[in-house]
Structure 1
Amino acid sequence: MKEKLYTIPLNDAMNADDECPFCYIERNVEQDILDYVLGSCASYMESDTRDATDKAGFCRMHYKKMYDYGNTLGNGWILKTHYKKLIAEMKEQFSHFTPGKTSLMDRLKGKPSEENPVSAWIGEKEKSCYICDYFKKEYARYLDTFFYLYKNDGAFREKLEKSKGFCLHHFRDVLNGADAKLSDSEKKDFFPLVFRLMEENMERVSADVDWLIEKFDYRNKDADWKTSKDAVQRGMQKLKGGYPADPPYKMNK
């Protein structure tokens, strides 16, 4: 099948021989978003981008990555207007707040009262992140493309068959996607394939971790490391996704 613009990232991810192609894509997309939000294009100075970041905010993980990225002025501008919007909303919440009433019987029973509305507002803010939300939209398209290629591109299926499978985090999404996007006959081939891949590659990573531990035995100090030197970071990735050993992604100044 002739490669198209929207299939290139999936093929690149499969060619990378990574523990999980979707971890590879997630890292690339996240770095692209950081470049867009804080990079030299200075999108943080554009009103439509700032309106979106003011509204969504960022999660704790991405605030840390934004800080590590290194654009102090850009982060400052993003925080400046986000704070103003957040404080205005907070004052509005406070102005309409009345403490909830809990009956004596409920207190004696230890029955919780309804959630404090200000607490609920904070909870909604905690769920919102501009980068996470942006990635979710991109990720959904990549999952669609994955199944499109699986169904229509023999070369891609061959790459999948020879791959290292997925991390457990993204494997769940792949399974749910298969249920939604594959026909019954396609599922009969797909599920045994990915189950085999996951079993073989979880065993492979587990064996690497086992040998890494054995290498710390003085009797094995001269033995070959085999493929176990990076077993810890790959083992963590296989379970939860991501790249634990990656250095912070920095602004290209």
Structure 2
Amino acid sequence: MREDICTIPVSEVFEPKDGCPICRMRDTVETRMVEYIMGAAMMEPDVRMETNRRGFCEDHFRKMLGQKNRLSLALMLESRLIEIKEQVFDKKRLSFLTEEAGCFVCDKIQWGMERMLDTVCRLWVQEAEFRALFDEQPFLCLPHYEQLVSAAGKLKKRDRAAFCEAAAKVSGRYLLALKEDVSHYCKMYDYRNAGNNEDWGNSRDAVERTIQYLVARSVKDSR
């Protein structure tokens, strides 16, 4: 498999200034990987061997089902079942199910993200224009803020401290805004405010936005 299938130009991810840029990066890599595994990967024996061994998680099975080429998925499922039969039922190697448990797509996303997070840190240190772009982001969700701080561990001490401070500023200011919106949302349901016709402001979707900040995934109200 071409290693660059999991990488994208980092600066392009930051340009839209819409939501968490690292979530957008993750989503782009994920989409590429799902499209790849349902398409070109079918012709790569080494990939098929790995998917037979690793399989996929529930979430990525769902995304693969959303693709148009169900035959590709059926062929992968067929060879995965053959692998399980040989390892678990013919060789009596029940440990195969735990030792090889995982997801091919998740593994590749993690591989690509680790390298791109390193690139984010490097660009921040080397390019003033990128530092300005970084500071202008609406927010960094909490999980990706943590990952960026971890990735910054490879920087020189002075650069690491400055980068972590910048990341904390972007993520922390959004947390404060969320806290105000959630508090206002709760206040709107206080019986003491009934009939006051107070403005909801930005609080109507505060619950969804807070969950997204905490788990790095967009959620929809199921009501």
Give the drift of 1:129.
0.9
Is 1:239 the counterpart of 2:214? The answer is yes
Instruction: Please report the RMSD computed on the Cα atoms of aligned residues, expressed in angstroms.
Output: 2.7
Give the drift of 1:187.
2.6
In structure 2, the residue matched to 1:29 is 29
Is 1:208 the counterpart of 2:181? The answer is yes
Is 1:54 the counterpart of 2:48? The answer is no
In structure 2, the residue matched to 1:153 is 127
User: Which runs of 5 or more structure 1 residues have no equivalent in the other structure?
Assistant: 1-5, 97-117, 247-253
Give the drift of 1:198.
2.5
From the superposition, tell whether residues 15 and 7 of structure 1 become closer, same or farther in structure 2 (CA, over 3 Å). farther
User: Which runs of 5 or more structure 2 residues have no equivalent in the other structure?
Assistant: 1-5
From the superposition, tell whether residues 156 and 48 of structure 1 become closer, same or farther in structure 2 (CA, over 3 Å). same
Distance (whole Å) between structure 1 residues aligned to residue 202 and residue 9 of structure 2: 27
- Compare relative contact order (CA 8 Å, sep 6+) and give the higher one, 1 or 2: 1
Give the drift of 1:57.
0.8
Give the drift of 1:92.
4.6
Distance (whole Å) between structure 1 residues aligned to residue 198 and residue 73 of structure 2: 49
From the superposition, tell whether residues 193 and 18 of structure 1 become closer, same or farther in structure 2 (CA, over 3 Å). same
Which of 162, 173, 186 aligns to 2:147? It is: 173
Is 1:15 the counterpart of 2:15? The answer is yes
Which of 162, 166, 169 aligns to 1:189? It is: 162
Q: Would the aligned equivalents of 2:141 and 2:216 in 1 still touch at CA under 8 Å?
A: yes
Q: Deviations over 1:134-174 (max 9, x none)?
A: 11111111012101110111011112222234212122211
Give the drift of 1:211.
3.1
From the superposition, tell whether residues 216 and 15 of structure 1 become closer, same or farther in structure 2 (CA, over 3 Å). farther
TM-score, normalised to structure 1, is: 0.73
Q: Would the aligned equivalents of 2:17 and 2:137 in 1 still touch at CA under 8 Å?
A: yes
Tell me which amino acid in the other structure corresponds to 1:211. H
From the superposition, tell whether residues 10 and 212 of structure 1 become closer, same or farther in structure 2 (CA, over 3 Å). farther
Structure 2 counterpart SS, 1:69: coil
Distance (whole Å) between structure 2 residues aligned to residue 186 and residue 74 of structure 1: 46
Distance (whole Å) between structure 2 residues aligned to residue 17 and residue 214 of structure 1: 30
Q: Deviations over 1:38-59 (max 9, x none)?
A: 2xx4533553432232122111
Which of 67, 89, 92 aligns to 1:91? It is: 89
Percent identity reads 26
From the superposition, tell whether residues 17 and 226 of structure 1 become closer, same or farther in structure 2 (CA, over 3 Å). farther
From the superposition, tell whether residues 179 and 220 of structure 1 become closer, same or farther in structure 2 (CA, over 3 Å). farther
Q: Deviations over 1:94-113 (max 9, x none)?
A: 2x6xxxxxxxxxxxxxxxxx
Task: Name the larger-Rg structure.
Answer: 1
